[in-house]
Amino acid sequence: MYEIYDGHREAVLWFLHDFDAKNYSQYRKKYPGTSRERGYFTAICGFFELSGVLVKRGLVDQDLFFDVFNPRPYWERARATIQGMKKDRPHIYENFEFLTKRREAWSRRREVEGRTRSRG
């Protein structure tokens, strides 16, 4: 998984630092058709979509995945764009969203476990 992620390093950096669309309409105007930036967006969202499928189906252990990856910063940047996409394609990136929610629950559980261990 890391090899796939790292193979998109330029896309990762662009996504975290330069992606700037407040909604789907703005995304379509700023990053048209086959632009490099649209390819970056698709690569990152596609990675987390695939990851969500693998975690959901139990093919990748969630603890292992979340020890290495955090989809939340990516989801936060992409959320408004993806919500606009869902008007025409209601299931697009649903596993990316699932993965982000699962990561949040995983983080809360780890915090509780950490507090319990530090008291014991």
DSSP for 23-79, please give it: SHHHHHHHS-TT-HHHHHHHHHHHHHHHHHHHHHTTSS-HHHHHHH---HHHHHHHH
Supply the pLDDT for residue 114.
Answer: 72
The domain limits of the chain are 2-119
Q: Give the pLDDT band (50/70/90) at residue 120.
A: low
pLDDT digits (tens, 9 = 90+) for 21-75: 999 999 999 999 999 999 999 999 999 999 999 999 999 999 999 999 999 999 9
Percent of the chain with pLDDT over 90: 91
- Reply yes or no on whether the pLDDT at 118 is more than 70: no
Q: Which two tokens stand for residue 43?
A: 């690569």
The alpha carbon torsion through 101, 107, 111, 112 (nearest 10 deg) reads 50
Supply the pLDDT for residue 52.
Answer: 98
Query: Are 31 and 38 a contacting pair, CB within 8 Å?
Result: yes
